[in-house]
Amino acid sequence: MKVIISRESILKMRVDAIVNPANSQLREGGGLCGAIFDKVRRVGGVDAHKKLTDACDAFGGCPTGEAVMTPSFGLWAPKIIHAVGPIWHGRSPLPVGVKLTADEATGLKALESVYCSILHLCEESGLNSVAIPGVSTGIFGFPKELAAAVAVAVCRSHDMNLEVHLVAASDDYFDLLSAAPSVTAVQWVASTGE
């Protein structure tokens, strides 16, 4: 697996799939999720937006730690993987070197699970590339340091023919991804294009 750390707009990436950090109802939300739905509306019109909404509704939701895939209905990436990460129920900031509470450990396992689910969908669908944002690091409040380490570790633990773009929406998350443990096989690519 080739892992590339990028600082660019996920909505403009030319990959086989982009990941939407979705809510469990798979409804249009805020943050990047809302931006993805909005981009579909701007690119393909109201009809494309309705098709995306209907495709998500057909799943009847998605449990935390899992992911589902739909067409993108007009984005550069032909597929959207809707990944439901955990809402953080722990200390913030997370103290360094301390044992995780039960809620924090549960959140960590759910975040690992959602990254595994994303990679499994890519492999199952024969995709060659995917762009993954910092799942759960926005309004779900997951500590970025921990999320970056999980993203890199899970991607490094899978041996598959896939190009993974770990996409940072901010300079601080880009730095965290770049410094994550086991980052030796990662190629750093920085782009500030919006």
The packing angle between helices 102-124 and 144-157, to 10°, is 40
Confidence of residue 182 (pLDDT cuts 50, 70, 90): low
From the list 183, 88, 178, 187, the residue with the least C-alpha distance to 142 is 88
The whole-number pLDDT of residue 96 equals: 73
194 has pLDDT over 80: no
State the pTM of this model: 0.91
pLDDT tens sequence across 99-130: 888 999 899 999 999 999 999 999 999 999 99
For the segment 77-106, the average pLDDT, to the nearest whole number, is 90
Number of Cβ within a 10 Å radius of residue 38 = 13
The fold of the 2-188 domain, in CATH, is Leucine Aminopeptidase, subunit E; domain 1 (3.40.220)
pLDDT tens sequence across 50-76: 999 999 999 999 999 999 999 999 999
Q: How far apart are the first and last CA of the chain?
A: 26
Mean pLDDT estimate for the chain: 91
> Could you state, in order of their start, the residue ranges of all structural domains in the chain?
2-188
Ramachandran bin of 193, using left for φ above 0, alpha for ψ from -120 to 50, beta for the remaining angles? beta
**Quick one: which H or E segment has residue 3?**
strand 2-6
Dihedrals phi, psi of 170, to nearest 5 degrees? -145, 160
pLDDT tens sequence across 3-38: 999 999 999 999 999 999 999 999 999 999 999 999
Q: Whole-angstrom Cα distance, residue 90 to residue 88?
A: 6
- Sign of the dihedral through C-alpha 102, 112, 154, 93: negative
The whole-number pLDDT of residue 189 equals: 39
Q: How far is C-alpha 91 from the chain's CA centre?
A: 22
168 has pLDDT over 70: yes
Distances (CA, A) of 64 to 72, 168, 170: 21, 22, 24
